[in-house]
Amino acid sequence: MKKTLIGGLIVAVMMLSGLKVQAQNKLVINADQGKTQISRHIYGHFSEHLGRCIYGGIWVGPDSDIENINGYRTDVFQALKNLDIPNLRWPGGCFADEYHWTDGIGPRSERPKMINTHWGGVTEDNSFGTHEFFGFVELLETEPYITGNVGSGSVEEMSKWVEYINFDGVSPMADLRKKNGREEPWQIKYWGVGNESWGCGGNMTPEYYANEYRRYATFARDYPGAKLYKIAGGANSTDYNWTEVLMQKIPLHMMDAMSLHYYTVPGSWGNKGSSTDFSKEEYLLTLQKAAFMDELLTRHETIMDKYDPRKRVKLIVDEWGTWYDVEPNTNPGFLYQQNTLRDAFVAAITLNTFNKHADRVHMANLAQTVNVLQALILTDEDKMLLTPTYHVFDLYKPHMDATLLPSYVESEMVEAGGTKIEALNVSSSLSEDGTVNISIANVDPEKAIDLDVFLHGTQAKDVSGRYLTATDLNSHNTFDETDVVSIKEFKDFEWAKDVLEVKVPAKSVVVLRVK
């Protein structure tokens, strides 16, 4: 538990003088001290050619019996539209480094097939390619983020893809795009140079990748009206050396950001644990691992600060989320897992953490949007459900593009087995219209927490709230019961003079808005 020195002294004096000391949970927010904008892109997503994310999850094709808009599932489109998703990363992941974009253009029936060697060895028929992806992001009115192939591609191939997508004029690739039915360039911004180049993207050393990055980035051209935001493939979790080498070897003006991948795995990679069947200790351990994101970001940022104190090069956590054993009787290469209230807490803690690091973290992408890992949405043929994770993104929408507010939280602890973590995890922001947004996760499975909120620097008093909870830690939605975990109105708060007293229910995520 964090305590200020003064707070600690007051407690000590009260104890010595025999006064009763109560365990107090408090949150202090300075609503007039915000400086940093929380980029909306922190609330971004990721869709890979993996399992049933694209095929069956997003794309069913225009001839499908499943209701669709030009081939995109109507239900999935509507759910994502409701979240106002700020961006979508594609086509991978590991798949990106074996994807040859020219296979995915032209008449669908004539496109060559390939083996998706990373994910289940299934045949990829390339029916979802560049035009289909851009059709979807245009429908959603969201920003595309493309990851180009460094591992098995070439500088020429990547360079031509950029020309195909972004060049407005007469050129071989722009002409080909027009021949394929698209007159205007898409003029995209976010461009990733490879994925996990330390692993599935080519097993490179950081020194080797840094050189490759310089070559590939040179020929990924900026065209008029389409300046690229170039993202170097960053570290795997705690590989701080990777960050150090890239910061040393890549001239800062050549990259806008560096990525970072971190997955929350309750067990080991060989035995990750079940998505729905877990003990209280495993639950807390999972959340402790999610909360590690704070230390992870701090350590990578410290290295980046050494080379780039003005924080020009941003961090993009373009893969994060829980990773469990796949659901029984599903293809191990499809990474299909259920999603419970525990996942909602992982999302809440991680998003709170990204908010706090908003001065360096520009974007983050949950892995993955539909049917893969910590998905927002699960589908089964024509059925669809929204996961608890989806609902956290819904609750947290007000933080997008709001100003991060400095805050201080004192929280009691929750413990099981050898694992002990703070019960409360919080972040707060200020919307343009003056509304203060406070997101609070109480991860204690049994105990509601009385929280005193001290809101300084604002006259706002009109409070509304929404929250997410369920009967059990492993409660989840199913295709037969889609509303087991869903958002409800929250009213358990009142002003006591200038203090907002909130009773945060056990195992809940609450978002308060104070106008």
- Interface positions with ligand AHR (CB under 6 A): 48, 92-94, 195-196, 319, 367-368, 373
Distances (CA, A) of 252 to 246, 291, 297, 462: 9, 30, 19, 46
* C-alpha closest to that of 371 among 106, 125, 49: 49
- In sequence order, the 6+-apart residues with CB closer than 8 A to the CB of 141 are none
Nearer to ligand AHR, 71 or 201 (CB): 201
Please classify residue 107 by burial: count the beta carbons closer than 10 Å to its beta carbon, then call 0-12 exposed, 13-18 middle and 19+ buried: exposed
Q: Which residue has the tokens 């990373």?
A: 118
Give CA–CA dist 77/137, Å, rounded: 10
Phi first, then psi, for residue 238 (nearest 5°) are: -90, 20
Nearer to ligand AHR, 260 or 426 (CB): 260
Nearer to ligand AHR, 323 or 467 (CB): 323
Q: Active-site residues: which are they? A: 196, 319
Nearer to ligand AHR, 368 or 435 (CB): 368
Distances (CA, A) of 98 to 136, 341, 413, 447: 22, 35, 46, 49
Nearer to ligand AHR, 42 or 367 (CB): 367
- In sequence order, the 6+-apart residues with CB closer than 8 A to the CB of 163 are 171, 172, 173, 174, 221, 223
Q: Least distance to ligand AHR from the beta carbon of 206, Å?
A: 17
Q: Least distance to ligand AHR from the beta carbon of 346, Å?
A: 15
Nearer to ligand AHR, 130 or 147 (CB): 147
Q: Least distance to ligand AHR from the beta carbon of 54, Å?
A: 13
Is residue 424 within 8 A of residue 444, CB to CB? The reply is no
Query: How do beta strands 419-422 and 383-386 pair?
Result: unpaired
Q: Compute, in degrees rounded to 10, the torsion defined by CA atoms 456, 458, 459, 463.
A: -80
Phi first, then psi, for residue 467 (nearest 5°) are: -150, 165
Cα angle 391, 395, 396 (rounded to 5 degrees) comes to 115
Q: Compute, in degrees rounded to 10, the torsion defined by CA atoms 274, 336, 386, 422.
A: 40
Give CA–CA dist 490/442, Å, rounded: 14
Nearer to ligand AHR, 286 or 437 (CB): 286
Q: Least distance to ligand AHR from the beta carbon of 118, Å?
A: 7
Q: Least distance to ligand AHR from the beta carbon of 373, Å?
A: 6
DSSP per-residue letters across 51-72: TTSTBTTTB--TT-SS-EETTE
Nearer to ligand AHR, 146 or 470 (CB): 146
DSSP per-residue letters across 197-251: TTTTTT---HHHHHHHHHHHHHHS--BTTB--EEEEEEEETT-HHHHHHHHHHS-
Q: Least distance to ligand AHR from the beta carbon of 227, Å?
A: 26
Q: In the complex, which residue's CB is closest to ligand AHR?
A: 93
Q: Least distance to ligand AHR from the beta carbon of 268, Å?
A: 16
Q: Least distance to ligand AHR from the beta carbon of 119, Å?
A: 8
